[in-house]
């Protein structure tokens, strides 16, 4: 266990970076990281939750440590109804969680007036900035660290993710407890613990975002290939600089 609190300003290659969990640790280090994160950062730690499959695992693990943890969902006003229904299920299962539905400054109508209709079809980067990145910047203002469900297996851009990462985008520390988990690990945990999940996952949607920018993936395809199809884009920008 590292003795010095990991902060953005004093970030160094930490004790946890390069740490390989014990083979007998069924959570592959995730529970240790979550325990340390909440024990160290307390209420200044924010979980930016997408309510994807990885989110359900993290919510369950976090609830064992901090039942009243703060979760933030970036509500773009463009999510699937199944996603909103899942959030209601989570609220019922984990009633102490503090779930904030963070919406962008611009409504869809105002965005259309200022930037033209269906901005996501012409400039998805700008749409993501308005509806996701800027709202998270507001949420993380003053937060020492935030939790993300990134896994190394998900895509080449995530292959080098560490447990603790210096996040230059949000001037914070990004904590990623699930970096060693595989797709099968996630689903084994969900099923063995009877956790709720988005039914779209059963319809070949491994990664679920906004309706206009999320498509099903062919069997065996890259998990992120259903996002922003026809664009050279696999990330909304939350995890890139």
Euclidean distance between CA atoms 132 and 116, whole angstroms: 18
Instruction: For strands 98-102 and 172-175, give the pairing.
Output: unpaired
Question: Given 78, 236, 237, 241, which residue is catalytic?
Answer: 236
236 is catalytic: yes
CB 237 within 8 A of CB 128: yes
In DSSP terms, which residues pair with 46 in a beta bridge?
146
Please check if 176 is assigned to a binding site.
no
The phi-psi region of residue 215 (left if phi > 0; otherwise alpha if psi is between -120 and 50; otherwise beta) is: beta
CA gap 71, 61 in Å, rounded: 13
Burial level of 225, CB count in 10 A (0-12/13-18/19+)?
A: middle
CA-to-CA dists, residue 177 to 86, 132, 219, angstroms: 22, 22, 27
Known catalytic residues? Answer: 236
Binding site for [4Fe-4S] cluster, residues? 127-128, 210, 213
């Amino acid at each position: 266990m590292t003795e010095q609190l990991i902060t953005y300003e004093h970030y160094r290659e930490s004790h946890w970076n390069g740490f390989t969990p014990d083979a007998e640790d069924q959570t592959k280090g995730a529970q240790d990281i979550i325990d340390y994160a909440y024990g160290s950062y307390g209420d200044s730690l924010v979980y930016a939750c997408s309510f994807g499959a990885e989110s359900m695992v993290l919510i369950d693990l976090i609830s064992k440590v901090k039942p009243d943890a703060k979760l933030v969902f970036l509500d773009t006003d463009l999510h699937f109804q199944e996603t909103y229904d899942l959030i209601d299920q989570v609220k019922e299962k984990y009633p102490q969680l503090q779930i904030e539905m963070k919406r962008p400054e611009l409504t869809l109508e105002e965005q259309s007036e200022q930037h033209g209709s269906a901005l996501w079809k012409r400039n998805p980067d700008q749409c993501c900035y308005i509806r996701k990145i800027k709202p998270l910047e507001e949420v993380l203002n003053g937060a020492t660290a935030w939790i993300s469900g990134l896994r190394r297996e998900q895509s080449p851009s995530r292959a080098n993710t560490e447990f603790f990462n210096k996040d230059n985008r949000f001037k914070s520390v990004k904590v990623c407890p699930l970096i060693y988990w595989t797709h099968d690990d996630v689903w084994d945990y969900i099923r063995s613990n009877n956790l709720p999940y988005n039914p779209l996952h059963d319809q070949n949607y491994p990664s679920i975002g906004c309706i206009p920018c999320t498509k099903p993936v062919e069997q065996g395809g890259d998990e992120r290939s259903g996002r922003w199809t026809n664009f050279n884009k696999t990330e909304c920008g939350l995890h890139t600089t």
